[in-house]
Amino acid sequence: MGTQPPAPFVYVVWCEFAPGEDLPDWHRWYDEVHIPGMLSVPGISAVHRCQLLGRENQFLAIYDIESPAVFDHPRYAEVRGWGPWQGHIVSWSREVLSRTGAIGEATGRQAT
C-alpha cells in the first residue's frame, strides 16, 4: 500500500475567537459543517486543525491544496468563511505556502 505524496501547497488560516463565546458549538460547526464543505472543493485534500498552546481561543487550520487555483472554484465561494460565527471572530489571517522541504518520518534519535 503506497502513500500519496503531500499536496504541493498549504493554505493556512489563523483565527482568534471571541473570549467567553461558546467554543463547543464553534468546534461542532467547524468539524461537522465547515471542514466537510472545504473538503468538497476540488483540489483540497486534507485539513488539520490546531489550537495554540496556552491560548484557549486561538486556532490554526492547515489545508492541503493542489494549487492556489482552488480559490477560483465556484464550490469554494459557497463554503468559505466563518458562516454564522463571523461576528465571533476577533481577528484572523490567511496565507498560501508552497512546500519546499523534504517530508519524512522522525527517527526518534536524540542528539548526544
The CATH number of the domain holding residue 20 is 3.30.70.100
* Residue 110 lies inside a defined structural domain of this protein: no
Distance CA 4, CA 49 (A): 20
Number of structural domains (the chain) is 1
Strand partners, 16: 58, 91
Q: Tell which wins on pLDDT, 3 or 15.
A: 15
- What is the residue whose three cell numbers read 467567553? 20
* Residue 107 lies inside a defined structural domain of this protein: no
Q: Give the pLDDT score at 112.
A: 42
Residue 68, domain extent = 10-86
Q: Tell which wins on pLDDT, 39 or 2.
A: 39
For residue 25, is pLDDT > 70? Answer: yes
Reported as a single tens digit per residue, the pLDDT across 76-94 is 999 999 999 999 999 999 9
* Residue 56 lies inside a defined structural domain of this protein: yes
For residue 101, is pLDDT > 80? Answer: no
